[in-house]
Structure 1
Amino acid sequence: MNCGLEFHDSRVASVYSLGDVVTISFKAAYLHLSDGVPGSDRGTGWTQAGSLEFGSASLPGTPDIGDGWIVAGALRVDGGDELRLVPVPFNIVGSIQAT
């Protein structure tokens, strides 16, 4: 089975940094599970708590997001295409930009 995290319809609890680690903490991360391509092929979807951690990272300013739903979001790895559905588990080394 293949799993992916979709930012759209996920609920963020907080975004914070501790040292050089930036964490996006999800109150309800929207996940897709499929035998094929998550989010495209038939499968199941649900929400659960979780987080994304970025090492050697920094935040531009202090995000004041509060507790809220994401309506659009993506990751870009090494300047490539935007990932709107992130594979789970996600363990990538490179320059990652989250929007």
Structure 2
Amino acid sequence: MPVTVCELRHILSLQQLFNEMSRQLRLPPHFGRNLDALYDCLANEVPGPYQLIWRETAETEKALGADVYAAVLDILETVAAERGDVTLDIHR
């Protein structure tokens, strides 16, 4: 089965993150564009296998703020840990 790759880079806002993930992973139309909805979709609705590659995360952390960035990263790490068909590759 082919692996869907979602490559994020130069993410400077949550809306940009949601837009890119929606486009690349084909999130469902009912995606609520908030962190809880992001977790729900990534954990339960996006068919696997898929790989999340996030580049320039230091730039994103600065733009989003440390708390929001940590919350997003926690969601991605949790989804990767819970699902056996999701991999996460973070590049600062």
Where on the TM-score scale, by shorter chain, does this alignment land: which range? under 0.3
Higher helix share: 2
> When the two structures are superposed, what TM-score results if normalisation uses the length of structure 2?
0.25
- Look at both structures and tell me which one has the larger radius of gyration over its CA atoms: 1
Higher strand share: 1
